[in-house]
Amino acid sequence: MLAPMRAAAHVLAELEREIVVPGAGLDRLRLTPVPFVPEVRLHLAEDAIVWWARMEASVGRRLPPPYWASVWAGGQALARHLLDHPELAAGRRVLDLAAGSGLVAVAAALAGADRVEANDIDPYAVAAVTFNARANRVRVTTSGADLLDSVPAGVDLLVAGDVFYDRGMARRVLPFLHRAAAAGTDVLVGDPGRGHLPAHRLAVVADYPVPTTEPCVGSPVRRVQVLRAR
Ligand SMILES: C[S@@+](CC[C@H](N)C(=O)[O-])C[C@H]1O[C@@H](n2cnc3c(N)ncnc32)[C@H](O)[C@@H]1O
């Protein structure tokens, strides 16, 4: 097994190859504007499942689902909210938890954050954030540690897009967000009404009509809330 630093460098190089090799097929990544946040461009898969299958075949091992290669409704609403209300992030230390592509981290940096860290346990997401920050000419640091059993320190604003997507994740994320809020961190979540969202533990601060990007959703627009942990 590769040591963590070497493994991270390896993943970074793998993803860089994917980004620099031009291609137009469904199995390619493409630098594309985010539908609800067109100020931000991200390296996204034309079809994340097809990209995932080709990558697994080419590297010869199982890879985590490439959540980072798609935009998520919760992340889009949260990023929109930060760009439309830059005072939430400006001059603050921001942590984007479960960052995926890093869309929310990039938006926080564009809104004038003092420093932004994007955290995700998927090393491909960590690498994608690096390339996406570069594509948007902002500075975002990254970390791949699992923070959910800790209390975040030195963070003024914690943002988390679409983190209530399954029961196991919701069970761990909610106490983490509340520990952060109790320690004085402003905590904002973006969520499209997923079943595992503990709505009674969060206060709605905004609601956005986000264009649907997920094939399983019938309507062209989805109502997505930005909520604050109380
Ligand atoms: C649905 S995606 C949301 C991505 C991004 N926040 C957005 O809104 O576009 C969920 C992300 O959570 C990450 N994740 C899962 N468990 C995690 C953990 N314990 N700590 C940090 N990230 C985690 C996954 O790797 C994935 O990138």
For β-strands 221-229 and 186-191, DSSP reports them as antiparallel
- Pair 97, 137 in one domain: yes
* 144 and 100 part of one domain: yes
Please tell me what DSSP assigns to residue 191. Answer: E
Query: What are the pLDDT tens digits along the chain (230 aa)?
Result: 567 788 889 999 999 999 988 677 899 999 999 999 999 999 999 999 999 999 999 889 999 999 999 999 999 999 999 999 999 999 999 999 999 999 999 999 999 999 999 999 999 999 999 999 999 999 999 999 999 999 999 999 999 999 999 999 999 999 999 999 999 999 999 999 888 777 788 999 999 999 987 666 677 899 999 999 98
Convert the pLDDT of each residue in 80-117 to its tens digit.
Answer: 999 999 999 999 999 999 999 999 999 999 999 999 99
Instruction: Please report, for the domain that includes residue 99, its CATH number.
Output: 3.40.50.150
Ligand 1 mean position, distance from CA 127 (Å) = 14
Q: Which domain holds residue 191?
A: 73-229
Token digits of residue 194: 């997923």
Ligand 1 mean position, distance from CA 184 (Å): 23
Q: Are residue 208 and residue 110 in the same domain, yes or no?
A: yes
The verdict on 177 and 105 lying in the same domain is: yes
Task: Report d(CA 36, CA 103) in Å as an integer.
Answer: 11
Q: Estimate to the nearest angstrom the gap between the alpha carbon of 124 and the chain centroid.
A: 12
Q: Say if CB 226 and CB 82 are below 8 A apart.
A: no
- The rounded Å distance from CA 121 to ligand 1 centre is 7
Residues 84 and 21 placed together within one structural domain of the fold: no
Where does ligand 1 bind, in terms of residues with CB under 6 Å?
Answer: 67-68, 72, 74-75, 98-101, 103-104, 119-122, 125, 146, 148, 161-162, 165, 169
Rg (CA), the chain: 17
Q: What is the pTM of this model?
A: 0.95
**Residue that has been written with the tokens 């080709």 in this structure:** 54
Helix (H, G, I), strand (E, B) or coil at 17: helix
